[in-house]
Structure 1
């Protein structure tokens, strides 16, 4: 797959590639190096464990880190999902655990679109 096709697929998967590449000062290669690291930041199992254990510090740190990574890569849908998790958590802690689980599921669904696109790229390169 050619680079421009990959960028189009990333766009369809929820990354504002123009904005992201701009954030990387127009350096597409550098952006691609960082976006390929995204799957390592998708620590949903760890986030779920922290949620189930009601481990405030770990839960907040993991979700906040994921939100920052998504925002820096202009993965707008994923960033919005993780922001919603943080808003709910800040408002009520773990009181509405089912709601947090639902929001986390939405974030996982969004991340899967990106992960699939990245797996396709890696398989060809």
Structure 2
């Protein structure tokens, strides 16, 4: 099975992705991760204004199969949380790189982005 791995993103080994635009970053989980989880039924995310730190957990995604911690690919201050996921957590399954995004942060350190997996490295990991 082939999974969508957009080449404008960077990835954590724990299957979170980040898209950086200037000093803002949008975070979600990969197509592979949502497939492994199965149907997502609940998401617990931080609030706007909270700080998250790279490689530390910032929330939980719960599916019919498992409860999994979410890990931050980058550090920063949460500027937006995807409120649509409260009533429709299945958006993570339907569109993990679009409507199923989790949160946006103001980046604390641009250099962290360089430590993440490239799309090719991530594809090798999930192959």
Q: Could you say which structure has the higher strand fraction?
A: 2
Q: Is the helix fraction higher in 1 or 2? A: 1
Tell me if both proteins adopt one fold, taking TM over 0.5 as the criterion.
no
TM score, norm. by length of structure 2: 0.30
Q: Max radius of gyration: which structure?
A: 1
